[in-house]
Amino acid sequence: MIFKFQFGKPFPTEAVVAKDQIQDAPGQPVPFVDVKEGESITYQMQPDDLVYGLGQNVRGINKRGWIYSSNCSDNPNHQEDTRSLYAAHNFLMIDGAKKFAMFLDYPGIVTFDIGYTRSDELKITLSDWNLDLYIWEGESMTELVKAFRHMIGRSYIAPKWAFGYGQSRWGYQTAEDVRRVVQKHKENDLPLDSVYMDIDYMERYKDFTINEERFPNFEAFNEEMKAQQIHLVPIIDAGVKKEEGYPVYEEGVEKGYFCKKEDGSNFVAAVWPGHSMFTDFLNPEARKWFGDHYAFLLDKGVEGFWNDMNEPSIFYTEDRIRDVIDEISKLKGKNLDLTELWKMLGLVNGMANNVEDYKTFFHETEVGRLSHEKVHNLFGYNMTRAAGEAFERLCPEKRILMFSRSSYIGMHRYGGIWQGDNKSWWSHLLMNIKMCPSLNMCGILYTGADLGGFGSNATEDLLLRWLQFGVFTPLMRNHSAIGTREQEIYQFQDIGAFRNILKFRYRLLPYLYSEYMKAVLKEELYFSPLAFMYPEDAFASQVEDQLFVGESLMVAPVYEQNARGRYVYLPEEMRMFRLKRDGSLESEVLDAGHHYVKAELEEMVFFLRKGHALVLAEAANRVADVDFGHLQALTFGDEAVEYEYYHDDGYTKDYENPKNWSRLEISGDGEISC
């Protein structure tokens, strides 16, 4: 049973959709934690307690020892001292003598001090006390996750082609640039299913427009790409350009669908197009209006989108830039000492994403007018909800790819996320690994990082190692920023090593897609920490750089520069496979315990549990060419095993059809029968 405690007048976020296991507990004491209404929620942690959750955030799978904030923030330079990233996922689990979970359904800023101020204390503070607190206990972490996933609803399911490899770069400025990317992949025999289009495809960064000079006759161009089984995936940004004669802007102003300042005038901020407006996504009418505009690109044959800048990110506001310029002008001609210099730099650097600006605009909601700061973390969620709800109206039988940068619990029903703008740093590869299971706990299964890193300059070894983990993430996209080193695979020396990894991704797709769909439909994890699979193994809880992918596979990526191997902990005897340069697989059985495993730069290792199977297909260069019906199998053990295999058409939404499921009988030597 999940107990619900209400404080004040919570905003109806609609994060929770299934209430059959929820019991309202008015006037009852909150179990497990000490609630001082108006002040804090605290829990006295025992020395061996582990803390899981918080979805997209920094540091480890076990969140103990740092202070975190749910405050959707545009911060591509995040490091260990960062406290908040692009999302707000207020879900926590305690694994110790007491095993329980908490979800704080609260759209304002929340701070989670998990052993930072006091090593034995978890302390939660909020901007105000209008929230729903859900709390429940369970026998295991997987049981706690399953209950949460049930209450927040089914996770988003992407079309099957979106499990293929995608190439992206901010800087593909013309149709010829895209054609060149596709041709280079073809020439080098590199698998590819999608090319992502960043802001340059638009007419002067205006949403729902196309630059006709750079992308003439876009509909025909899209059909040209589809003929090669390539999907174009354009970006949609949160800011609508303020420009007379631009229909989206004029309609939004006329109908009052943009956020306004306290005096009723339109709130104007700057993002890519300069002066821009923010759609009031908490207004259902405005949400529908914005969502219906996706039809502009759907009608041209587009089948996928990514939503960006929706924390929302603000470069500056008109009011703030005026005030900053006024203040800086007072310093003109002065001999600036250290204090004055820092003041000037602070004024300039503080223009972007200034917390004070979030207090100056308002939303018209079903429960009245609210300052944005009260509901800040819902903006990106409801932008993607606008799209998801529109797709249900515009093409109800068809899956459309959708993922977002910013999110809140509940958005997982409408799309996935990529893990934000990152850097070409080895530390961000490790963060990607550790973040995946935490996101799965919060219902976000369709996810992946910008492989190779978005900012900074990728090295060949970093990209190759990142791809060796990325072959297992549902969203597999190589993405980089304009001005950085071009990091398409064909830009590097050892193309053959990259080719081998990519082709193995397509061999893995029957297993990866089946495990993804089982995780969605059964409210389970796709990525699991070792501690969840082996709860009685004390050492498993200390291992955070190895993950289970589905029921059979354990991955142990190499994530350090110049490393030619790594230490691996096996909770049980496993069969290790080594993918060689020529595409062949070598294997050996390793005992339970600690091992140093060699892995040359072009090699990838993974592990198979005893009594389990890994189903594979023949290699292909497009998802559409993968034969999901004729499979091979890798096994470990002399006994025959059963594998529950899920396979659907990949495009429609007939998920519950019994024909999608089959029980494969797999012999010890890998022979498959149904």
pLDDT of residue 609: 97
For range 575-604, the mean pLDDT: 96
Q: What is the dihedral of CA 60, 65, 66, 70, to 10 degrees?
A: 70
Task: pLDDT band for 319, please (50, 70, 90 cuts).
Answer: confident
Judge contact between 593 and 569, C-beta under 8 A: yes
Task: pLDDT band for 496, please (50, 70, 90 cuts).
Answer: very high
Q: Please determine, for residue 331, whether its predicted confidence score (pLDDT) is greater than 90.
A: no
For range 190-211, the mean pLDDT: 98
Report how far residue 661's alpha carbon sits from residue 381's, in angstroms, rounded to the nearest whole number.
Answer: 32
Residue keyed to tokens 């991704």: 505
Tell me the per-residue pLDDT of 56-100, one tens digit each, with 9 for 90 and over.
999 999 999 999 999 999 998 999 999 999 999 999 999 999 999
Tell me the per-residue pLDDT of 213-223, one tens digit each, with 9 for 90 and over.
999 999 999 99
Q: Please determine, for residue 397, whether its predicted confidence score (pLDDT) is greater than 80.
A: yes
Return the amino acid letter for 218.
Answer: F
Helix (H) or strand (E) holding 593: strand 593-598
**Taking the model in full, what pTM does it have?**
0.97
Q: What percent of the chain is predicted at pLDDT more than 90?
A: 91
Least confident interval from 138-142, 262-266, 335-339, 438-442: 335-339
- 391 by DSSP, 3-state: which? helix
- Report the Cα 534 to chain-centroid distance in Å: 26
For range 163-178, the mean pLDDT: 98
Judge contact between 510 and 615, C-beta under 8 A: yes
pLDDT of residue 339: 85
Task: pLDDT band for 345, please (50, 70, 90 cuts).
Answer: confident
DSSP string, 497-543: HHHHHHHHHHHHHHHHHHHHHHHHHTT--SEEEHHHH-TT-TTGGG-
pLDDT of residue 90: 98
Q: CA of 32: how far to CAs of 4, 94, 97, 190, 316, in Å? A: 14, 10, 11, 53, 44
For range 423-433, the mean pLDDT: 97
Q: Please determine, for residue 535, whether its predicted confidence score (pLDDT) is greater than 90.
A: yes
pLDDT of residue 86: 97
- 134 by DSSP, 3-state: which? strand
For range 628-654, the mean pLDDT: 95
Q: Please determine, for residue 166, whether its predicted confidence score (pLDDT) is greater than 80.
A: yes
Q: Please determine, for residue 19, whether its predicted confidence score (pLDDT) is greater than 80.
A: yes
Report how far residue 196's alpha carbon sits from residue 577's, in angstroms, rounded to the nearest whole number.
Answer: 33
pLDDT of residue 326: 87
Report how far residue 287's alpha carbon sits from residue 273's, in angstroms, rounded to the nearest whole number.
Answer: 21
Q: Please determine, for residue 171, whether its predicted confidence score (pLDDT) is greater than 80.
A: yes
For range 327-354, the mean pLDDT: 85
Task: pLDDT band for 587, please (50, 70, 90 cuts).
Answer: very high
pLDDT of residue 323: 86
Q: Please determine, for residue 674, whether its predicted confidence score (pLDDT) is greater than 80.
A: no
For range 166-182, the mean pLDDT: 98
Residue 31, C-beta contacts closer than 8 angstroms, at least 6 positions apart = 3, 100, 135, 137
Query: Residue 625 burial by CB count (10 A; 0-12/13-18/19+): exposed, middle or buried?
Result: middle
Report how far residue 386's alpha carbon sits from residue 282's, in angstroms, rounded to the nearest whole number.
Answer: 10
For range 241-270, the mean pLDDT: 96
Judge contact between 106 and 88, C-beta under 8 A: no
- Choose between 321 and 248: higher pLDDT: 248
